[in-house]
Each structure stands twice: as C-alpha cells, then as structure tokens.
C-alpha cells in the first residue's frame, strides 16, 4: 500500500526469515535502546497508580523493565543500552542493579531525547538501532528480530511497530532522520500516523511490524493479564505480579 506521498510502506506479518534473499550484506553492529525511568513513586505508571497505588505501580514497573531486559538478553549479536530518565547520581546504582550498559537521557521532549540517543549510538559505531520502552513486557521476541532483519534489507530505511493506542512500540533506523523526532504530538493517538508521514516526507521507506500493546492504564493491564497465557516466556514477572494485585 502507499502511505505518505509516493513512498511505499509494506506491512509484514510476524515471521522468521522475513526478508530472505537479495537483501545484501548483514549489518555488523546492532544496538537496542531501552528508554526507562528510575522507578520512583509518583514518577512511573501514574495512570495505573491512581488505581493500584504508587508503590504497587513502582513494583509493576520494575517487573515490566525486568521482562523487557530478559527479552533483550535473548537477542544474539545485539547490544542493549538503557537510557534512563534519572538523576546523574542514580546512574551507577541503576547500572549495577540492572546489569546493563546505562546512559542518561538528555533534557527535552520525547522526540529530542530519542534523537539524542540515536545520535549517540550511531556516533559510537552502531550500524542499525532500534528503540523500545519498558511498557511492552510481553512483546514477542520475533518482532524485534524482524525489525533488525528489515534494517538489513536495502529496500528499507526505517522500521516502525505500531501500538494499539495510536503510538508506536518500536522505531528502528540505520541512519538518522531528524524529521521523525520533530512536529510529532507525543503521547497522543496521532504519533504513529504522524511518524509515518514524517518518514515519507524525509524520503525514508519504512517497514511495518505487527501491532502490539502498551501497558499504561488499568484497562491495558487487564488486557495484558488476559493474553499473558498465550505468549509463554514473555512478560513472566509482570504477569505474576499483575495477577496478584
């Protein structure tokens, strides 16, 4: 189908071997950026906290982050870096707790912070990078594999994974497109649509992953609990804690 001017965006289903044949040489250094916040009461999962309390929201957030990092450790040949929204003094402690390379997010809106993270990763020699958050603890392993596989295909410049709330759960790039980080109404249902349009305006062909789900509200948490049994091995800590709340 055609979206965003005359650029073609192809939607792929979940599968392995997604772009086999004629894709050119594999990129050699892959980075996974995980955006996270220091787990503090009143700082994480505020919409959930209104229903379950601040401390329960913190514990749930920690479980979600553990599950996302467990997922990242199952990826071969991919280096994971957590970009924290935290105080400078907290960074060494967080790195020790989560046993993962850690950096601080710069001040600014979400677009500015994501752009800076991609810029740093590319400057450090990464040839393809994907960014995810901590809100998708049961994200299928195959979706991230597919994202990096699409980035190895010369036909594609970017990858987007749409979320059910109108945002996206993953953005993948093999070079920086600043247009993707500006003029977007962050934290609204327009983010995915606006980002696709921005990719088209920048001349970037974007491969699309299947839709997936964030956990931001009590309704999202209920939906997660209902589907948790269908995806064995994904979101285990979160599912255990959520069902006990």
Query: For all residues of the chain together, what is the average pLDDT?
Result: 89
Q: Residue 3: is its pLDDT beyond 90?
A: no
Instruction: Tell me the HSE value of 193 on the side-chain side, using a 13 A CA sphere.
Output: 7
The CA distance from 18 to 153, in Å, is 10
Burial 36-71 (b: 16+ CB within 10 A, else e): bbbbeeebbbeebbeebebebbbbbbbbbbbbbbeb
User: Within 10 Å of residue 185's Cβ, how many Cβ atoms?
Assistant: 11
End-to-end CA, the chain: 43
| CA dist., res. 35 & res. 133, Å (int) | 5
Helix axes 54-73, 236-244, angle to 10 degrees: 160
pLDDT of residue 67: 96
Instruction: Read off the pLDDT of residues 126-170 as tens digits, 9 standing for 90 and up.
Output: 999 999 999 999 999 999 999 999 999 999 999 999 999 999 999
Higher pLDDT, 14 or 149: 149
Angle between helices 218-227 and 236-244 (to 10 degrees): 120
**pLDDT tens digits, 96-107:** 999 999 999 999
Please check whether residue 176 is in contact with residue 153, taking contact to mean a CB–CB distance below 8 angstroms: no
pLDDT at 20: 30
In the predicted model, is pLDDT for residue 38 greater than 50? yes
Strand partners, 33: 81, 131
Q: Would strands 206-208 and 10-11 be described as parallel, antiparallel, or unpaired?
A: parallel
- Please name the residue that has the structure tokens 């979706």: 143
Q: What is the pLDDT of residue 232?
A: 54
Q: Phi then psi for 122, rounded to 5 degrees?
A: -65, -40
Q: How confident is the model at residue 235 (pLDDT cuts 50, 70, 90)?
A: confident
181 pLDDT exceeds 60?
Answer: yes
- pLDDT (average), residues 60-77: 96
User: CATH for 10-244, among 3.40.50.620, 3.90.550.10, 3.40.50.11260, 3.30.470.20?
Assistant: 3.90.550.10
């Amino acid at each position: 189908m055609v979206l965003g001017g005359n650029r073609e965006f192809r939607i792929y289903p979940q599968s392995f071997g997604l772009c086999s044949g004629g894709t050119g040489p594999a990129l050699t250094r892959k980075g996974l950026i995980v955006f996270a916040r220091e787990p503090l009461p009143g700082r994480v999962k505020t919409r959930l906290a209104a229903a379950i309390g601040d401390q329960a929201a913190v514990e749930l957030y920690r479980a979600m982050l553990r599950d996302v990092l467990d997922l990242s450790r199952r990826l071969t040949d991919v280096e994971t870096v957590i970009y924290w929204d935290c105080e400078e003094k907290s960074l060494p402690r967080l790195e020790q707790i989560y046993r993962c390379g850690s950096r601080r997010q710069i001040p600014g809106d979400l677009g500015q912070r994501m752009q800076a993270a991609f810029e740093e990763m590319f400057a450090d020699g990464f040839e393809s990078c994907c960014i995810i958050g901590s809100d998708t603890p049961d994200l299928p392993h195959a979706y991230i594999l597919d994202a990096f596989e699409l980035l190895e295909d010369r036909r594609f410049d970017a990858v987007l994974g749409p979320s059910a709330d109108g945002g996206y759960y993953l953005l993948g790039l093999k070079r920086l497109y600043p247009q993707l980080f500006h003029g977007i109404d962050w934290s609204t249902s327009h983010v995915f649509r606006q980002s696709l349009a921005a990719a088209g305006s920048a001349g970037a062909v974007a491969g699309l992953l299947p839709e997936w789900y964030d956990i931001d509200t009590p309704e999202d948490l209920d939906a997660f609990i209902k589907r948790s049994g269908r995806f064995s091995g994904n979101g285990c800590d979160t599912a255990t804690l959520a069902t006990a709340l």
